[in-house]
Structure 1
Amino acid sequence: MSETPKDLNPLSRAAELLHHRGRALSKGEPIALPITTSSMFHLPGDPADSPAYGRVDNPTWEALEDALSILEDAPCVALPSGMAAISAALFASLGAGKRLLVPSDGYYVTRVLSSEFLAGFGVSVTERPTASIAEGGFADFDVVFIETPSNPGLDLCDLPAICGQVRAAGGITIVDNTTMTPFGQRPLDLGADIVVASDTKAPGGHSDLLMGHVATRDPAWLARVKDWRKMSGCIPSPHAAWALYRGLETLELRFSRMCDSAAVIAPVLAAHPAVRSARFPGLPSDPSHNLAAAQMERFGFLIGLDLGTEARAEQFINTSNFLRPATSFGGVHSSAERRARWGDDVSAGYVRLSVGCEPVDVLMQDLVDSLGRLED
């Protein structure tokens, strides 16, 4: 395929993604991406430079990786889930005697992977809260894993400053950009060495697939991640890769709608008397607002609400007509869950609200109505 221009703005990248593959088609070839499910390829003679085996090569993955690379402005490796992407990046960059710093308030499965598996292989694991992750410096850390905004608390940290400090100390940064996508935040442009993301969320968008990816501009790290995928067998399904490719074609449109709606809804919910406190980087009163305005393209579609008690949180979620009570986020359907049920360090009444693609006035009225029904 042809080279993607390196100076594209986000909207130009959205357009480029839609037509990049099409420019290389021959007459009569399908415009829609085909699904290639073969585990074997016709391979007479010298196997060099040809697809060889389904654990290593797949044209559907490769088309997806081309599309992801347009959005990230970096080579990408597709993996079968967000945690597969995180695992690939961590296992490719760590080993016995290495030191890893992870956020204590980030996605809990990353912490479990680090403490129960990486630590067992001789990796020293340290945890710090996202908002104060730079306190204590980064000397002797080989890998600093960052999640900003944190999931689910929506705290931020200064990406350019931290990435620069980690590099000066001799380490690398891996940034989980799941909550923001490349349309909301661009960690590689801010100094990160590696980006990981769960494409199960907004990139897929329809709550019907599991996928993830790793992006990096460093050829050595890219090769390590590809080798890890090949040797571990942690490969994506061609069907899931095809579904994600289709989802990426509408990501810019959906993400814009979701962020626009969240920006309208957040101040209304924050001011509601039933809400004890609210977190949304787009609120001028949010402690992360200034930092978000400096390093994020959009403020995102996630809103944190503290409704005081478990009962009130569950009532709010379950009595709303336009909220699906479900884990995960980023789908076209608005969803919410009480995150303390998974052991996250948040209050019992904390709700992570994922704003979807419903008409904003209808959704907002439904949420306000649900808040109005809460019992003291």
Structure 2
Amino acid sequence: MDGRYGDSTRSVKAVGSEPVPGNPVAAAPVPASTYHLSPDEAEPLDSYGRSSNPTWRRLESALAELEGAATALTFGSGMAAITSVLRVLVEPGMKLVVPADGYYQVRRYAAEYFAPRGVEVVTASAADMCAASSDADVVFAETPVNPGLDVVDLHHLAMQCRGRGAVLVVDNTTATPLGQQPLSLGADLVVASATKALSGHSDLIAGYVAGSHAELMAAVERERVLAGPILGAFEAWLVLRSLGSAGLRFERQCLNAQALAVMLRAHPAVRSVRYPGLPDDPSHRVATSQMKRFGGVLAVELQDAAAVHELVARSELLIASTSFGGMHSSVDRRARWGDPVSDGFARISAGIEDTDDLVADVEQALG
């Protein structure tokens, strides 16, 4: 990470084009399925749309720069990125550790795809991740975990994995590369959903893998070519277009999340609040040691499901929707999706509204 610049400057620089006179400042999408071939049959940079695309390369270069990686690879979704990486790394007879309290689809995939193929799948909470990984071959960590927002000590976990040759993959979706740099803390690969804060407009699905181990990244790229979980050129262009403002948007989202967490913690209708930026949050100490910003997502527990629905109904700014990281502040009652949380547990994704407006609106909506 270039320490000379702040997040907005890094975001703008990452998407910049070569300053060649006559070239457009903003890149245009290249929606091509096939390309002109040379008559001498030399292998061109681009030949077929499942293998490569100029728009991917621009986006991948920007993502690699933001993650502090040598290279990055785009995928059609965050899950496409995750499953591609796991298929490359995990073989029958291995032990795979996945989060027990993170994104539920990862647990499902591990249980339904790998376990029947002779892989020992172990689920572990953020607090138990290091202990559960002591004899693992591949460790998949998410931090902060979604939706509970516990934080994994990545440096400790990475040193443990490195000491015994295990591969550590970190899902950096919630923190984003503007809030946390897992590769600098010892992770081997980073995966993330660009659907969330990086694109930030709730209008596309995308994912990526970033890393600096050439052989690992080459294997993941080969998996992408063979299996075909690619990102469309237009979607890649939309992510690239959005990255330039990611620093500005994420700064406001983090500010709003912190302000909401402080207000909610003192409100009588709220049973509990989790946000790593709160000084008394159980994860604050570890989060402070490895995160630059604490993210735009917080978790609250209200009395019951009706209280969550009433919060949205009484608010003029909150919308009820799943996912997170968009411009609009949103509420998602996670028990409806099967997460092991109480009926009144809600994930709040802070948007980019003016902070005072958002806090006042949520406070009055709680009654």
- Bin the TM-score by the shorter chain: over 0.9
Q: What does the per-residue CA deviation read over 1:83-115, in whole Å, with 9 as the maximum and x for residues that have no partner? A: 011111111111222210001110000011110
Contact 1:105 1:129 in 2 (8 A): yes
Q: Matched residue of 1:266: which SS?
A: helix
Contact 1:335 1:353 in 2 (8 A): yes
State how 1:118-197 maps to structure 2 within 5 Å: 118-139=114-135, 141-197=136-192
Distance 2:10 2:55 in 1: 18
State how 1:187-336 maps to structure 2 within 5 Å: 187-336=182-331
Q: Matched residue of 2:130: which SS?
A: coil
Contact 2:68 2:184 in 1 (8 A): no
How many pairs are equivalent? 365
Q: Structure 1 residue runs of 4+, over 6 Å off? A: none
Structure 2 unaligned spans of 5+: none
Structure possessing the higher relative contact order (Cα contacts under 8 Å, 6 or more residues apart): 2
With normalisation by structure 1, the TM-score equals: 0.94
Question: For residue 36 of structure 1, what is the aligned residue in structure 2?
Answer: 30
**Partner amino acid for 2:238?**
A
Aligned match for 2:5, one of 3, 7, 11:
11
Distance 2:54 2:132 in 1: 46
Distance 1:172 1:239 in 2: 33
Aligned match for 1:90, one of 83, 86, 91:
86
**Partner amino acid for 2:52?**
D
Structure 1 unaligned spans of 5+: 1-6
Question: For residue 116 of structure 1, what is the aligned residue in structure 2?
Answer: 112
Contact 2:170 2:189 in 1 (8 A): yes
Contact 2:17 2:27 in 1 (8 A): no
Alignment CA distance shift 1:137-1:331 (3 Å): closer
Contact 2:169 2:191 in 1 (8 A): yes
Superposed displacement of residue 11, structure 1: 3.2
Contact 1:317 1:337 in 2 (8 A): no
With normalisation by structure 2, the TM-score equals: 0.96
Superposed displacement of residue 358, structure 1: 0.2
Alignment CA distance shift 1:195-1:101 (3 Å): same
Q: Matched residue of 2:346: which SS?
A: strand
Superposed displacement of residue 15, structure 1: 2.9
Alignment CA distance shift 1:259-1:240 (3 Å): same
CA RMSD in angstroms comes to: 1.5
State how 1:338-349 maps to structure 2 within 5 Å: 338-349=333-344
Question: For residue 51 of structure 1, what is the aligned residue in structure 2?
Answer: 46
Superposed displacement of residue 319, structure 1: 2.3
Superposed displacement of residue 50, structure 1: 2.4
Alignment CA distance shift 1:42-1:357 (3 Å): same
